[in-house]
Structure 1
Amino acid sequence: MTLLKLVSNDNSSTEAVSTPPSTTDLSVTDAVLLDAYSQTVMQVAEKVSPSVVNIEVYQAQQGRSQRGQWRRQDEAKGNGSGFIITPDGYILTNSHVVSGASRIEVTLADGRKLSAELVGDDPDTDLAVIRIHAAQLAPVTMGDSASVRVGQVAIAIGNPYGFQATVTAGVVSALGRSFRSRSGRLIDDVLQTDAALNPGNSGGPLVNSRGEVIGVNTAVILPAQGICFATAVNTAKFVAARLIKDGKIQRGYIGVVGQNTPLHRRLVRFHDLLVESGVLVISTEPGSPAQQTGLHQGDVIIGFGNRPIANIDDLHRYLAEHPLGVRSSITILRGTEKVALPIVPEAVKGARG
């Protein structure tokens, strides 16, 4: 803070003299900022925590009774987190939390314990939807991960090691990360955060300072500290909607490893493009439709069929909706030239979409 002090001289003129901020001024300012940050985290926790649930999963096992007879019994497999996304009981969580469960139990923030059914599971994005039947449920507010910026506040709420409604805070460390899911497929457009996550946080929400969900907490890099990942909420909204509707996602496969990239304004104007970004081709898989049609490293995908492609989410949505084995065209920028190539998406092979 710079203060201006007016000093008179013998000629009645004045000059501006800067004085350094006092220690008291700085401490007051810091205290106000810290208090505002604390108030933000507290308000977000109060708003979102009622929507966060603890998920316990059980797996059927064969065991002998005291009389030596074989009988089926459910044994605890593990626990994770989830959050309510609709008033009628649909809950979003991670696929690896509920995969293989014979029985699922959900504990709400108010202490109610309910049985849940698996609605749909998508290992390729490590997302799943389960459902409970109960009244007075508090769904979250879903945000827009496309508006997320590096450095903004990120707050994680979950149940690490069974400690319900645990809140940790940090910032969004990076955007557009990729990591491989348990199915072997790369999950793209992942948010990185330093908000502390631990076993049991999986499936819980990552939220912004307004209490809007921006991601689904998914993974931690061990033994590193402060490197945690969340699936972007725009991906999660698309996957959840398809799982609720169909119970599964049937994806097309073209065999491209790519990342989001901005387009030069001159190219956008010259080709009169409907998008200002696209998907940069990092590599193509041997024998894949992308390789067969002639896609190369450095090409930028900007369209598929009649649909503009601005990012990886757009590409995934198109491949999830386009009929398998049906010829389409993929539009790319190769250098400064716009090229349309014929391509036939195949059934997903598990490694890439």
Structure 2
Amino acid sequence: MNRNLTILALTGTLALGGVLGYQAKEGGLPSQGAATTSQANPVQASTAQDVTASGTLVQTRTSPPATATTAYDAGRARTESEANTVQVVKERQDGLVYISVTEADSSSAEARMRQRLQEQFGFSLPQDQGGGVPATGTGSGFFVSAQGDIVTNNHVVEGASEITIRLHGSKQTYKAKVIARAPDYDLALLRAEGVAPSSIKPLPLGDSDKLDVGLKAIAMGAPFNLDFSVSEGIISSLERQVPVGSREVVQPVIQTDAAINPGNSGGPLLSSAGEVIGVNTQILTGGAGQSAGVGFAIPINTVKRLLPQLQAGQGGVVSPPSLGVVFTDLGSLPPEQLRAAGLPTSGALIQKVYPGSPAAAAGLRGGSNGELTLPSAQGTSALSTDGDLITAVGGQPLTDASSLQQAVLATGEGQPLRLTVRRGGQSREVEVTLQAFQFPQNQQ
């Protein structure tokens, strides 16, 4: 995956079906809140998020972990930070899950998809081993409920013919099935068969909206198939936006320098409070195929928002909400053409609104005049300038298409999204109730 962040920017004419929701059927420790408000003493007791057997998040009181002076002698942990890391690992290691997948037919559409995802995400996936031997691959995951729900990456289990898991400290394997997948978020929920309830150790989920750059980050998983490996670093950035999911929709991620390698995919990124703050999903490798100190994790608040839908998925796919439109990002067009057409330099110019879509229900309109002619892969294409122009989302000016993408993805199904729309030189506020929308097959 030899690429840098500059080429991850989203440009060009975009169809919201392909970008915003063509329906595709991927306690002994305190909370992170304490860590963010008092970095000088990040292990104070507070309230932590945990998960019940039904998967509902509840508040539970926690007690502070033992400090370096009471839990470890000078020969084992010489600093408070070391003591904290050791305590987090001891408290959370049994919530880790090792995942193995098998793809019997490496020439199948699913196998080809997995190979493409490997190139996209920089993680180890099943490979054609030749001689008719089934391809295999590994990943990581973690328990999120007492009933045994396991969160991992969609690209770990996409198209797998067989999934097995192992728990920390055990060589016993269990068959697992996919409860549901959310490919556009690169998330999947598994459940294993025959795991004793006493062996299921759900990890508490933190609040990724309350993080700060510089806070500790602890990654756990099985890099290069090395069971139970731990790496530590910091949160390097909270402003990063990269393509996520099978259709590479640009979304916010947590950047960390904690070493993440092939096999870590789907594993937890933990805070010093012992809470999961992200799901490890991608790396920038510089062409080496391994950690170069730039790893990305899906924010745990995304998981928390999707978890009820995943748990109710019954083997299906959780589709993101959608506007149901095709639009053009004005920021991707030549300024001289925009001036000639009397258009601003930013905004989402709607070209088409699909019947029956949330946008259609809200009264949004597409264009029809075909006034601009633009170069395209097929030679030229016509661009209409008389459609509705989305200039702001939730009161925030729309500077580029990724802002609209993120707003739609971050809004739950059935929830309203407020748009500022310009039509005929007049601006007005439009509220769109987002829903999953099935786009015409030829628009996928």
TM range (shorter): 0.5 to 0.7
Separation (CA, whole Å) in 2 of partners of 1:257 and 1:84 = 41
8 A contact 2:328–2:350 mirrored in 1: no
Match of 2:48 in 1: none
Separation (CA, whole Å) in 1 of partners of 2:133 and 2:349 = 42
Could you say if the C-alpha distance between residues 285 and 238 of structure 1 is closer, same or farther in structure 2, counting changes exceeding 3 Å?
Answer: farther
Deviation of 1:182 after TM superposition, in Å, equals 4.4
Structure with a larger share of its residues in strand: 1
Deviation of 1:92 after TM superposition, in Å, equals 0.1
| 3-state DSSP of counterpart to 1:118 | strand
Pick aligned residue for 2:418 from 330, 342, 347: 330
Q: Kindly indicate whether residue 151 of structure 2 is the aligned counterpart of residue 92 of structure 1.
A: yes
Match of 1:189 in 2: 252
1:211-290 to structure 2, matched below 5 A, reads 211-223=274-286, 225-246=292-313, 247-254=316-323, 284=348, 287=351
Deviation of 1:251 after TM superposition, in Å, equals 2.7
The CA RMSD over aligned residues, in Å, is: 3.6
1:1-353 to structure 2, matched below 5 A, reads 35-61=79-105, 75-111=134-170, 112-133=172-193, 134-135=195-196, 136=198, 137-223=200-286, 225-246=292-313, 247-254=316-323, 284=348, 287=351, 292-296=387-391, 299-302=392-395, 315-318=408-411, 320-321=413-414, 330-332=418-420, 339-341=428-430, 343=432, 347=437
- The one-character-per-residue Cα deviations of 1:100-154 (angstroms, maximum 9, x if unpaired) are 1010000100313111001111110100001013111111010010111111001
| 3-state DSSP of counterpart to 1:225 | coil
Separation (CA, whole Å) in 1 of partners of 2:176 and 2:284 = 30
8 A contact 1:44–1:209 mirrored in 2: yes
Q: Based on CA coordinates, which of the two structures has the bigger radius of gyration?
A: 1
- The one-character-per-residue Cα deviations of 1:158-177 (angstroms, maximum 9, x if unpaired) are 10011111110111011142
| 3-state DSSP of counterpart to 1:253 | coil
The percent of aligned pairs where both chains have the same amino acid is 31
Match of 1:10 in 2: none
Aligned length: 273
- The one-character-per-residue Cα deviations of 1:216-259 (angstroms, maximum 9, x if unpaired) are 0000001172111000000011222211113432333237899x
Separation (CA, whole Å) in 1 of partners of 2:89 and 2:152 = 19
Q: Could you tell which deviates more after superposition, 171-180 or 144-153?
A: 171-180
Could you say if the C-alpha distance between residues 184 and 348 of structure 1 is closer, same or farther in structure 2, counting changes exceeding 3 Å?
Answer: farther
Separation (CA, whole Å) in 2 of partners of 1:155 and 1:333 = 44
Unaligned runs of 5+ in 1: 1-30, 64-72, 259-280, 304-310, 323-327
8 A contact 2:267–2:280 mirrored in 1: yes
8 A contact 1:180–1:187 mirrored in 2: yes
Separation (CA, whole Å) in 1 of partners of 2:235 and 2:432 = 37
| 3-state DSSP of counterpart to 1:236 | helix
Q: Which has the higher contact order (CA 8 A, sep 6+)?
A: 2
8 A contact 2:411–2:417 mirrored in 1: no
Give me the TM-score of the superposition, normalised by structure 1: 0.68
8 A contact 1:55–1:107 mirrored in 2: yes
Question: Which AA in structure 2 matches 1:46?
Answer: K
Could you say if the C-alpha distance between residues 110 and 194 of structure 1 is closer, same or farther in structure 2, counting changes exceeding 3 Å?
Answer: same
Deviation of 1:188 after TM superposition, in Å, equals 1.7
Separation (CA, whole Å) in 2 of partners of 1:180 and 1:321 = 25
